[in-house]
Amino acid sequence: MAMPRSWSNPLRSLSRAACLAVLVAVPLDASASLSAQPGAQVAFTASGPGGLKIVGTTSELTALDDGQTVTVTVTLTHLSTGIDLRDRHMRDKYLETPTYPTAVLTVPRASLALPTPGATQAADLQGTVTIHGQTRPSTFHYAATSANGAYRVDAKLRVNMRDFGIVVPSYMGVTVKPDVDIDVHFAAADH
Amino acid sequence: MLIAFRWRAVLASLAVLFLLLVAKPASAYPWMIRHEYTGCGQCHVDPDGAGLLTEYGRAQGETLLRTQYTAASPDEEPGRVKDFLWGAVKTPEWLLLGGSFRPALLAVSLPGQALDVTPLVMEADLRAGIKYEGWRASASVGVVSEAGSLASIAGPVVSREHWVGYTWGDESLMVRAGRINLPFGIRSIEHPLWVRAMTRTDIDDNQDHGIAFDYSGTLFRASVMGILGNYQISPDAFRDRGYAGFLEMAPLSRLAIGVSSLVVHTEKDLDLGVPDWRQAHGAYVRASPFKALVIMGEGDMIVNTVTPSSASSVGFASMLQADVEPVQGIHLIATGESLSPGGLAPRSSFGAWASVHWFFLPHADVRFDYIYRAQANGEAPPPGTLGGGLTTASSASIPVTTYLAQLHVYL
Q: Does B288 touch chain A (CB under 8 A)?
A: no
Q: Kind and range of the H or E element at A15?
A: helix A10-19
Least confident of A55-59, A111-115, A151-155, B292-296: A111-115
pLDDT bin (cut points 50, 70, 90) of residue B378 is: low
Q: Which of A75, A45, A71, A72 is nearest to A58 (CA)?
A: A75
Q: Do the Cβ atoms of A52 and B59 come within 8 Å? A: no
Which residues on chain B are in Cβ contact (under 8 Å) with A47?
A: 218
Q: Do residue B41 and residue A51 have CB atoms under 8 angstroms apart?
A: yes
Question: Which is higher by pLDDT, B50 or A63?
Answer: B50
Asked whether the predicted pLDDT for residue B3 surpasses 70, the reply is: no
pLDDT, position B20: 46
CATH code, domain with A124: 2.40.128.110
Band the pLDDT of B85: cuts 50, 70, 90: very high
Among the partner residues A53, A82, A87, nearest to B218 by beta-carbon distance: A53
Phi, psi of B86 (to 5 degrees): 60, 25
Given a cut of 80, is residue B287 above it in pLDDT?
A: yes
Residue A98 maps to a domain: yes
Return d(Cα B97, Cα B89) in angstroms, integer: 10
Q: Is the peptide bond before B308 cis (omega within 30 degrees of 0)?
A: yes
Classify residue A22: in a domain, yes or no: no
Q: Under 8 Å CB-to-CB from B28, ≥6 apart: which residues? A: B40, B44, B49, B50, B51, B187, B188, B189, B203
Cβ atoms B177, B90 nearer than 8 A = no
Contact A85 B218 (CB under 8 A): no
The pLDDT value recorded for residue B209 is 98
Please indicate, yes or no, whether the overall pTM of this predicted structure exceeds 0.95: no
Closest CA in chain A for residue B65 = A83
Each residue's pLDDT tens digit, A63-121: 888 888 889 999 999 999 999 999 999 999 999 999 999 999 999 988 888 788 889 99
Give me the amino acid identity at B302.
Answer: I
Q: Looking at the domain assignment, is residue A14 inside a domain? A: no
Which of A96-100, A184-188, B65-69 reaches the highest mean pLDDT? A96-100
Q: Within a domain: residue A27? A: no
Q: Which of A94-98, A101-105, B16-20, B34-38 has the lowest mean pLDDT?
A: B16-20
Residue A147 located in a structural domain: yes
User: Residues B309-318: pLDDT tens digits?
Assistant: 778 889 999 9
Query: Which residues in chain B have their CB less than 8 angstroms from residue A48's CB?
Result: 42, 170
Does A190 have pLDDT greater than 90?
no
The pLDDT of residue B375: 87
B330 within 8 A of B403, measured Cβ to Cβ: no
A158-171: per-residue pLDDT in tens? Answer: 999 999 999 999 99
Question: Residue B382 pLDDT > 50, yes or no?
Answer: no
pLDDT digits (tens, 9 = 90+) for B126-150: 999 999 999 999 999 999 877 789 9
How far apart CA A185 and CA A112 sit, in angstroms, is 17
Average pLDDT, chain B: 88
Nearest CB to A51: which of B54, B131, B172? B172
Task: Work out the average pLDDT over B199-204.
Answer: 94
Q: Report H helices in B132-258.
A: 194-197
Least confident segment among A34-38, A137-141, B30-34, B281-285: A34-38
For an interface test with A, the pick among B35, B42, B52 (most A C-beta atoms closer than 10 Å) comes out as: B42
User: B172 — contact with chain A (CB < 8 Å)?
Assistant: yes
> Averaged over B258-272, what is the pLDDT?
94
Element (H, E) at A84: helix A84-88
Task: Examine residue A131 and state whether it is found in any structural domain, yes or no.
Answer: yes
Q: How many structural domains comprise chain A?
A: 1
Pair B190, B196: CB distance under 8 Å: yes
* CB contact set of A108 (below 8 Å; sequence gap of 6+): A68, A69, A70, A127
Residues in Cβ contact with A116 at an 8 Å cutoff, skipping those fewer than 6 apart: A146
pLDDT in tens, B212-251: 999 999 999 999 999 999 999 999 999 999 999 999 999 9
Q: Please state, in angstroms and rounded to a whole number, the distance separating the CA atoms of residues B163 and B178.
A: 4
Whole-angstrom distance, CA of residue B151 vs CA of residue B311: 30
Q: What local confidence, expressed as pLDDT, does residue B341 receive? A: 84
Determine contact: B370 vs chain A, CB below 8 A. no
The answer to whether residue A26 sits within a structural domain is no
B93 min Cα distance to partner chain A (Å) = 9
Give the DSSP H/E element, type plus range, for residue B28: none
Residue A37 confidence (pLDDT): 66
* A104: containing domain: 33-190
Report if residue A53 sits inside a domain: yes
Task: Report the candidate in A60, A90, A78 with the shortest Cα–Cα distance to residue A184.
Answer: A60
3-state secondary structure B312-360: EEEEEEEEEEEEEEEECCEEEEEEEEEEECECCECCCEEEEEEEEEEEE
| For A53, nearest residue in chain B (alpha carbons) | B218
The pLDDT of residue A63: 84
Chain B residues close to A85, C-beta within 8 Å: 63, 74-77
Hey, are the CB atoms on B93 and A53 less than 8 Å from each other?
no
Distances (CA, A) of B22 to B108, B118, B226: 11, 12, 27
Query: How wide is the angle at C-alpha B27 spanned by C-alphas B26 and B32, nearest 5°?
Result: 155
The pLDDT > 70 percentage for chain A reads 79
pLDDT for A1 beyond 50: no
